[in-house]
Amino acid sequence: PRSVTRLMDMLMDREVIRNEALLLLTYLTREAEEIQKIVVFEGAFEKIFSIIKEEGGSDGGVVVQDCLELLNNILRNNTSNQTLLRETVGFDPVTSLLKIRGISYRITQQKTINLLSALETISLLISSDSQTEP
């Protein structure tokens, strides 16, 4: 657990360290439910959305994609994390990624990937919601 805590702290470090920590956390959270819970307990939602905002939202590059992949990993098949995100952060940070800004509406391949990842996040949150209601 301490090593995961240190990795989470590295998300607020210099860019190169942050990016490597992000990749490692993404790998570690793919299937390990306990690590997913620790990551969330260490403030993952706030840190992820902070990085996404810093990197330009859906207009950002591969770092935004990595953040969304980490977010989806900690939400996928984990109803407690899904509920926590809905009740603490809410949908606003995710839905704001879907807003297309600018006059030209130029959508790059990277922006398309980021938008699809954000849609997957919303899908994870909504599908969990419908499963828990009668």
Instruction: Count Cα neighbours of 83 within 13 Å in the Cβ-side half-sphere.
Output: 8
Note the pLDDT tens digit of each residue in 93-127.
Answer: 999 988 877 655 678 899 999 999 999 999 999 98
Q: Is the pLDDT of residue 134 over 50?
A: no
What residues make up the domain containing 111? Answer: 2-132
Query: Which two tokens mark 5?
Result: 């805590």
Radius of gyration in angstroms for the set of CA atoms belonging to the chain, rounded to a whole number: 15
Number of structural domains in the chain: 1
Query: Which two tokens mark 110?
Result: 């990277």
Distances (CA, A) of 91 to 70, 84, 87, 118: 17, 11, 9, 11
Contact call for residues 124 and 91 (beta carbons, < 8 A): no
Note the pLDDT tens digit of each residue in 33-52.
Answer: 999 999 999 999 999 999 99
Query: Which two tokens mark 97?
Result: 């990624």
Q: What is the CATH number of the domain that holds 124?
A: 1.25.10.10
